[in-house]
Amino acid sequence: MDRRWGISVPLPELSLPDQRELIAELPDLGYTDVWSSEANGADAFTPLALAATWAPQLRLGTAIVPVYTRGPATLAMSASTLAAAAPGRFALGVGTSSNVIVERWNGISFDEPYKRVRDTVRFLRQALRGEKVTESYDTFEVKGFSAGLVADPVPPVLVAALRPGMLKLAGREADGAIINWLSPEDVRTVVPHVQQGGPDKEVVARIFVMPDTDPDTARALARRHIAAYMNVPVYRAFHEWLGRDEFTPMWQAWDAGDRKAALAAIPDSVVDDLVVHGPAQYCRERVQQYVDNGVTTPAIALVAPGDPTEAVRALGLK
């Protein structure tokens, strides 16, 4: 696999139209990929469609599209459309998302997440090839769906995964895994579960980065992001599995309703493990450590405030 160097889109602090020139510059800066996400901002597909026209050299990926918030057929159509618009340059990443996004924001029951992802991947494998699907899965039923638009080549499907069950599913039934909120050292624990499905599986990692930000500012911002994620049940369970006992005082304070104490309880060492910050050259080297430990496609996610232009340029490989 060729060396990949990705970045998350849309870029922060810029309107979508204002990102055109910077996105177009990415290939010249050494970036090979752009990976989107979907929570409460832009949807997962539109920023990639724009990037496909602004920088046709870039590979495009969703990291991730929730399997609950679109029906299976609609998800297949969205993926086929973007894959047909950018032949051979699109990868579909799917995952459970979280109970917050699925239940609280979309009013959909967050039931049987493992089975829902498994069933969706199995459906997508058939649907994206243009096969007619009539199937009763454990978590949904499809009766006679055939995609009217089939991309050539069919896009790979990756699964967002945290713990062993989903990681093994990503390696066994998909083309790889998408991981996030972990340290370079944690990659050594995570990746072998994916590679049980084969040594050629792709592993995409969203890596949170704040280049050229002073340590106090970086850690203060990072603590807010960490607290927001690590108290979501799926991420809490992930770090409990990783054995990150340093989070216990934060979880206890959060459970008691003391948000200020929860933030203060996150040690600097944990912040430095999970969020890359410091001079741009150090940040590039730290991202490379993820690659050295088994990540095939790093996807840098900028979390520093302000215009991202200089940070994007500083983190490029050229």
Indicate whether 205 and 194 sit together in one domain.
yes
pLDDT tens readout for residues 2-27? 799 999 999 999 999 999 999 999 99
In this prediction, residue 304 has a pLDDT band, given cuts at 50, 70 and 90, of confident
DSSP state of 154: P
Would the pLDDT of 28 be above 70?
A: yes
Confirm if 270 and 229 have CB atoms less than 8 A apart. Answer: no
- Asked whether residue 156 is assigned to any structural domain, the reply reads yes
Q: How far apart are the first and last CA of the chain?
A: 20
- Asked whether residue 37 is assigned to any structural domain, the reply reads yes
Query: What mean pLDDT comes out for the span 224-252?
Result: 96
Domain boundaries, position 21: 6-211+279-315
Percent with pLDDT over 70 in the chain:
100
pTM for the predicted model, two decimal places: 0.96
Distance CA 154, CA 239 (A): 34
pLDDT at 138: 98
Strand partners, 62: 36
pLDDT at 11: 96
Distance CA 192, CA 190 (A): 6
- Asked whether residue 1 is assigned to any structural domain, the reply reads no
pLDDT tens readout for residues 130-170? 999 999 999 999 999 999 999 999 999 999 999 999 999 99
* 3-state DSSP assignment of residue 158: strand
Q: Write the CB contacts of 180 (distance below 8 Å, at least 6 apart in sequence).
A: 63, 160, 205, 206, 207, 208
Indicate whether 246 and 123 sit together in one domain.
no
pLDDT tens readout for residues 88-117? 999 999 999 998 899 999 999 999 999 999
Indicate whether 240 and 295 sit together in one domain.
no
In this prediction, residue 119 has a pLDDT band, given cuts at 50, 70 and 90, of very high
pLDDT at 1: 53
Confirm if 275 and 181 have CB atoms less than 8 A apart. Answer: no
The label of the residue with tokens 């850690």 reads: 219
pLDDT tens readout for residues 72-87? 999 999 999 999 999 9
Indicate whether 56 and 168 sit together in one domain.
yes
Residue ranges with strand state E in the chain: 6-9, 33-36, 59-62, 65-66, 90-95, 133-136, 141-145, 157-160, 176-180, 202-211, 275-278, 297-302
Distance CA 96, CA 114 (A): 8
Indicate whether 260 and 240 sit together in one domain.
yes
For 263, the token pair is 């933030």
Indicate whether 199 and 295 sit together in one domain.
yes
Nearest to 230, CA basis, from 293, 275, 290, 164: 275
Distance CA 318, CA 315 (A): 9
Indicate whether 100 and 246 sit together in one domain.
no
Strands 133-136 and 141-145: antiparallel
Indicate whether 258 and 116 sit together in one domain.
no
- If one counts the domains in the chain, the total is 2
In this prediction, residue 56 has a pLDDT band, given cuts at 50, 70 and 90, of very high
Distance CA 285, CA 276 (A): 10
Distance CA 81, CA 151 (A): 7
Indicate whether 304 and 245 sit together in one domain.
no
In this prediction, residue 261 has a pLDDT band, given cuts at 50, 70 and 90, of very high
Would the pLDDT of 239 be above 80?
A: yes
Indicate whether 237 and 145 sit together in one domain.
no
Indicate whether 188 and 309 sit together in one domain.
yes
Indicate whether 22 and 104 sit together in one domain.
yes
